[in-house]
């Protein structure tokens, strides 16, 4: 049986594009004792994938030329040599940009439990996106009702979820996003009280000051860069910044420069803390249960952009960074 894989041809300096990948055919591997064979149903496209290709310090080993591209995927177990994993069960893990994968239990990120909701959500709002939003917001921002929270890439899969949870908690939510379409979606679909199109603002720091007259209590940061600079200048006393991503910075070599943050943090007695969803692996079921309830009650809306076929994968990361997608980007096999 043939397996098709997308593999890395060369390491990009910036955003990975179609030319950095190629497709190949191999034999479908056979699971060893304790392992299982998965047929991928949806492949994920995530901003973090860019970082996986770089050789700077990161939380996973680098993906090197020749490797099958690392990616989250949701798939069905079609053959199992492990009594804890049943044929017909759907699971999520780093199963890669390929049709079939063999995995061991420690490679499983989560089991799909909310089967009344679409399977693709296991890669988005009920997957790492929703989980990142949930823990970044509740554990690091820790907002109180009535506080003002600013979210960057607010129309994105993580940002929109974080904004809607914050709103459900009674916060005043302010979106930063790029483009009038997304700006409108933040208000109309995701319920942000104010949404700012940073591309249309001459002075984002000033626009934020007007949108947040009592300062910014929490900042859920998906961008870093000049957007964050404008937010930090408007922090309220005791402000909390959760660093979830650095999408505004195309490369870390040479290391990007910016205004130093120490004085903001000192005068406002504010904090910045980085996190990744994987840090909370033991508590994933808690997050999924809560987010699924919000989805069913309509308090969390989500959008997905579904590309068809493995051939769509090589150009999908570039597509993600271009901002053309409207929701969580996934590839249906």
Distance CA 9, CA 88 (A): 34
Of 260, 270, 259, 264, nearest in space to 218 by CA: 270
Q: Are 6 and 67 in contact (CB under 8 A)?
A: no
- Taking the complex as a whole, how short is the minimal distance between the CB of residue 330 and a second copy, in angstroms? 24
Between 132 and 292, CB nearer to a second copy: 132
Binding mask 46-85 for a second copy (x = CB under 8 A): ----------xxxx--------------------------
The helix (run of H) or strand (run of E) holding residue 218 is strand 216-221
Q: What residues have CB less than 8 Å from 293, skipping those under 6 apart?
A: none
Binding mask 199-228 for a second copy (x = CB under 8 A): ----------------------x--xx--x
Q: Are 36 and 80 in contact (CB under 8 A)?
A: yes
Binding mask 275-294 for a second copy (x = CB under 8 A): xx--x---------------
Query: What number of CA atoms fall less than 13 Å from residue 179's CA on the CB side?
Result: 11
Find the part of the chain contacting a second copy (CB under 8 A) among 83-91, 193-201, 266-274, 313-321: 266-274
Helix extents (H) in 5-116: 48-52
Find the part of the chain contacting a second copy (CB under 8 A) among 162-170, 203-211, 255-263, 299-307: 255-263
Q: Are 22 and 7 in contact (CB under 8 A)?
A: yes
Position among 163, 245, 314, 327 found at the interface with a second copy (CB under 8 A)? 245
Under rule CB under 8 A, residue 303 binds a second copy: no
CA angle 313, 316, 317 (to 5 degrees): 120
Find the part of the chain contacting a second copy (CB under 8 A) among 37-45, 119-127, 265-273, 299-307: 265-273
Binding mask 94-133 for a second copy (x = CB under 8 A): ----------------------------------------
Position among 255, 282, 297, 298 found at the interface with a second copy (CB under 8 A)? 255
Position among 65, 256, 285, 309 found at the interface with a second copy (CB under 8 A)? 256
Position among 272, 292, 310, 312 found at the interface with a second copy (CB under 8 A)? 272
Distance CA 206, CA 185 (A): 22
Under rule CB under 8 A, residue 24 binds a second copy: no
Under rule CB under 8 A, residue 2 binds a second copy: no
C-beta pairs of 61-64 under 8 Å, 24+ apart in sequence = 63/8, 64/8, 64/11
- Taking the complex as a whole, how short is the minimal distance between the CB of residue 268 and a second copy, in angstroms? 7
Position among 252, 299, 305, 326 found at the interface with a second copy (CB under 8 A)? 252
Q: What residues have CB less than 8 Å from 14, skipping those under 6 apart?
A: 50, 250, 251
How is residue 217 written in tokens?
């209590």
- Taking the complex as a whole, how short is the minimal distance between the CB of residue 50 and a second copy, in angstroms? 12
Distance CA 170, CA 149 (A): 10
Position among 167, 182, 268, 319 found at the interface with a second copy (CB under 8 A)? 268
Residue 141 is given by DSSP the state: I
How is residue 65 written in tokens?
């030329």
Chain contacts with a second copy (rule: CB under 8 A): 56-59, 221, 224-225, 228, 243-246, 249, 252, 255-276, 279
């Amino acid at each position: 049986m043939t397996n098709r894989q997308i593999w890395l041809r060369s390491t990009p300096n910036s955003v990975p594009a179609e030319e950095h990948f190629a497709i190949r055919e191999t034999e479908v591997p056979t699971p060893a004792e304790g392992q299982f064979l998965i047929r991928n149903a949806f492949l994920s496209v995530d901003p973090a994938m860019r970082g996986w290709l770089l050789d700077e310090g990161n939380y996973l080993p680098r993906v090197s030329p020749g490797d099958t591209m690392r990616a989250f995927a949701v798939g069905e177990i079609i053959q199992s040599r492990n009594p804890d994993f049943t044929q017909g069960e759907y699971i999520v893990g780093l199963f890669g940009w390929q049709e079939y994968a063999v995995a061991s239990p420690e490679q499983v990120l989560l089991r799909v439990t909310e089967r009344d909701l679409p399977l693709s959500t296991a890669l988005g709002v009920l997957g790492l996106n929703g989980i990142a939003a949930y823990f970044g917001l509740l554990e690091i921002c820790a907002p109180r009702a009535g506080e003002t929270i600013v979210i960057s890439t607010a129309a994105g899969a993580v940002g929109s979820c974080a904004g809607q949870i914050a709103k459900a908690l009674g916060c005043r939510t302010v979106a930063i996003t790029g483009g009038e379409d997304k700006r409108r979606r933040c208000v109309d679909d995701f319920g942000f009280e104010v949404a700012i199109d940073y591309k249309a603002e001459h002075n984002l720091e000033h626009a934020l000051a007007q949108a947040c007259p009592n300062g910014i209590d929490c900042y859920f940061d998906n961008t870093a860069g000049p957007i964050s600079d404008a937010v930090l200048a408007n922090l309220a006393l005791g402000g909390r910044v959760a660093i979830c991503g650095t999408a505004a910075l195309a490369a870390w070599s040479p290391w990007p420069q910016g205004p130093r943050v120490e004085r903001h943090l000192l005068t406002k007695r504010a904090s910045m803390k980085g996190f990744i969803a994987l840090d909370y692996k033991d508590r994933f079921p808690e997050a999924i249960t809560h987010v699924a309830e919000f989805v069913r009650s309509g308090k969390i809306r989500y959008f997905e952009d579904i590309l068809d076929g493995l051939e769509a994968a090589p150009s999908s990361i570039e597509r993600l960074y271009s901002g053309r997608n409207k929701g969580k980007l996934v590839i249906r096999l």
